[in-house]
Amino acid sequence: MEKLDLKKKKVTTHKIRKVLPYYKKSKGLLVALLIAMVMGGVLGIFSPIFSANALASLASEDFDNAKKYALIMTGLVLGKIIVNYFVEVFYTRINTRTKVELTKTIIDSINRTKMNKLDSVKLGMLSERLSSDVKSVSDSYLDMMNLIFDILTNAVFLIYIAYLNIYLFLILIGYVVVLYIICTIRSRVWIRGKKLTKKANEEAKSIYYQQITGIRDVKLLNMKESVTNYANGKFEEAANLDISITDKRNLLRRVQRLITAIFELSFMLIGIYFIKKEFILLAGFLVIFNYYGKVEWLVNYLSSFNEYNAEGEIAAVRIFEIVDDFEKEQYGTDTLSEFSGNIEFKNVNYSYSNNIPVLKNLSLKFEPNKMTAIVGKSGSGKTTILNLISKLYETGDGQIFLDGKDINTLTESSIRGNVGEISQSPYIFNASIRQNLFFAKPDASEEEMIEVLKKAQIYDDILKMENGLDTEIGENGVKVSGGQKQRIAIARLLLSSGKVIVFDEATSALDNNSQNEIVKLLESLKNDKTIIIVAHRLSTIIGADKIYMIDDGKVINFGTHKELMQNCNEYKELYEMEEKSAKVECL
């Protein structure tokens, strides 16, 4: 567990300033909030004056004036209640809008972030920054704005005290300095601690999120206790750090209360002495004593301002790390007005972040109106080829061409609007089947949905469901079988208007009959599309027009199934091994 360091430099405010543009959509509300705050500040200044005068009038048995001041004070209190209501209304609306705008920006940034960066990011980290940090940074600005008015109001009190008695004013200034030093130390403890606890909580929540996401495997492998203990351990570390920081702050707060109590007694004794020596009238001292509490508030407000500022800066740094520092996908400006579906790799090399070569000087072609398959052992680079076609990752060396145009010169819509891919484990949203299809084509008609569902061999199953197309299928399709989930994903893919259809072992969860029907569907689709398949079962690609045999990131042979059975020992071994396994399963 990291230790708390109080010797670090002051927290800067560079990043939190970047939040200001997000308040632009609330200009009118901001003006209204400022006006309400000013009114509240003015009412706050006068309340103690009339309160003190009421007490002084009572002390001198001037009951008429005491009643008058009490009525005025009541009016001021009611006025402040009304003003504060509007402050809260404006505050809530501005704060909510700002959080929405910040969240939109973060989501947009994540959508544009390169996959190799997202591969290294924990889900818990993104979730924490989308929730806790967005709230912190949006709250901080408005809280600081409110504190500015409180600070100014209480500064006016000090000036008024100086007018009433310069000696008591100087005593209060000394008190302010002592309190401010203590509050500054307390704030430093909180600021440094906040950074550490956020990091610790982020790591702890990441483990819990992973446990929830992988709950089926956790249960099936009887890992509940070990995974939970590991996650609990992380949270215990975060909790212990939080306790340590809170203890330090509370100790300093008790010291502050002790000093306040001592000063209050001393100030009362000094006041009595001043009244006896006629350095000040009783009414004047009562006014000052009524204001005295505001002096402590002033120090707390200054300290809180630093804390809010620091909290906002810490949160802003974490938010704008995603927005500014996560490397974004880059696209060109060229478009494909009429994409035929011709794809070519020329001398392509690629390595992931570990710098181990996955593709090595790879060259191959995918032709329109043909079905091309890619086969090879696990880790040979098959899925990487598909990832590069959709520019999910960018090539290292070499070039990829779509209809003769370098993929790096094309717009995002020219690439992903024309290339549709379905993986072995497609993600299904926690929504209805209908909504999942709408995500692929928002203006899809009922007839279009039914058509693709029939082609994907899932429509009959949906008819048997209680709510049909409106059936909710759970997080990542947990309420349907693996085969049904894949077929829904296939239907979703078919609904998009892509010229290229890519299957990355996407029939692996289907039974033989369903698989054969999907293969027939792909055969029919190739009349006007480019079909690319990475096959888990070689039996599904026997009819492919071309099959590339990949090994160690290179094409070692290609041809039809018949040609490879004759000319490629590696392919023949894979196929014969599969046939042997199939026979064993039948037995």
**Is the dihedral angle over the CA atoms 281, 287, 293, 299 positive or is it negative?**
negative
Instruction: Give CA torsion, residues 515, 517, 523, 525, to 10 deg.
Output: -110
Rounded to whole angstroms, the Cα distance separating 555 from 256 reads 74
Nearest to residue 262, comparing CAs of 308, 305, 296? Answer: 296
DSSP label of 458 = -
**What pLDDT score does 173 carry?**
84
pLDDT attached to residue 156: 75
In angstroms, the CA 567 to CA 559 distance is 9
Residue 334: alpha-carbon gap to chain centroid: 32
- Say whether 427-497 and 16-325 share the same fold: no
- Distance, in Å, from the CA atom of 54 to the CA atom of 286, rounded to the nearest integer, reads 10
Element (H, E) at 189: helix 166-213
Please tell me the distance from the alpha carbon of residue 173 to that of residue 140, in angstroms, as a whole number.
28
Parallel, antiparallel, or unpaired: how do β-strands 397-402 and 405-406 relate? antiparallel
Domain at 16-325, CATH class:
mainly alpha
| Contact in structure between 288 and 168 (CB atoms under 8 Å) | yes
Output phi, psi for 132, to 5 deg. -60, -45
Report the C-alpha gap between 325 and 554 in whole angstroms.
34
Three-state DSSP state, 237: helix
Q: Which of 8, 6, 542, 22 is nearest to 320 (CA)?
A: 22
C-alpha 439/C-alpha 462 separation (Å) is 18
Residue 201, φ and ψ in degrees, nearest 5 = -65, -35
Task: Return the H-helix or E-strand segment holding 81.
Answer: helix 63-112
Provide long-range contacts, Cβ within 8 A and 24+ apart, for 324-330.
326/109, 326/110, 326/113, 326/114, 326/117, 326/121, 327/113, 327/114, 327/117, 328/109, 328/112, 328/113, 328/114, 329/112, 329/113, 329/114, 329/391, 329/412, 330/394, 330/408
- 332-418+498-587 sits in which CATH class? alpha beta
Domain 427-497's class? Answer: alpha beta
Task: Return the domain boundaries, the chain.
Answer: 16-325, 332-418+498-587, 427-497
Output the six-digit token pair for 525: 């689709």
Each of the 587 residues of the chain gets a pLDDT tens digit; together they read 444 444 444 444 467 788 888 887 788 898 998 888 888 878 877 776 777 677 777 767 778 888 888 888 888 889 888 988 998 899 889 988 998 899 999 999 999 998 888 888 877 778 888 888 898 888 887 888 888 877 777 777 777 778 878 888 888 888 888 888 887 787 777 777 777 777 777 777 777 777 777 776 667 566 777 777 877 787 788 788 778 878 887 887 788 788 888 887 888 888 888 888 888 777 677 777 766 666 777 777 777 787 788 788 888 888 898 999 999 999 999 998 888 889 999 999 998 876 788 999 999 999 999 999 999 888 888 989 999 998 988 887 899 999 999 999 999 989 988 998 887 778 888 889 999 999 888 899 999 999 999 988 889 999 998 899 999 988 888 888 888 888 898 899 888 868 898 988 766 666 777 777 777 777 877 888 899 998 777 888 888 999 999 998 999 999 999 999 999 998 888 888 877 765 555 54
Burial of 174 (0-12, 13-18, 19+ CB in 10 A): exposed
- SS3 category, 550: strand
Please spell the DSSP secondary structure of 506-536, one letter per residue.
Answer: TTTTS-HHHHHHHHHHHHHHTTTSEEEEE-S
**pLDDT at residue 6, as a whole number:** 41
Residue 462 CB coordination number (10 Å): 23
Say if residue 511 is exposed, middle or buried (CB neighbours under 10 Å; 0-12, 13-18, 19+): exposed
Q: What is the pTM of this model?
A: 0.77
| 441-to-68, 428, 446, 513, 525 alpha-carbon distances in Å | 71, 15, 12, 28, 19
- Residue 8 CB neighbours (<10 A): 10
- Identify the CA nearest to 495 among candidates 534, 411, 439, 428: 439
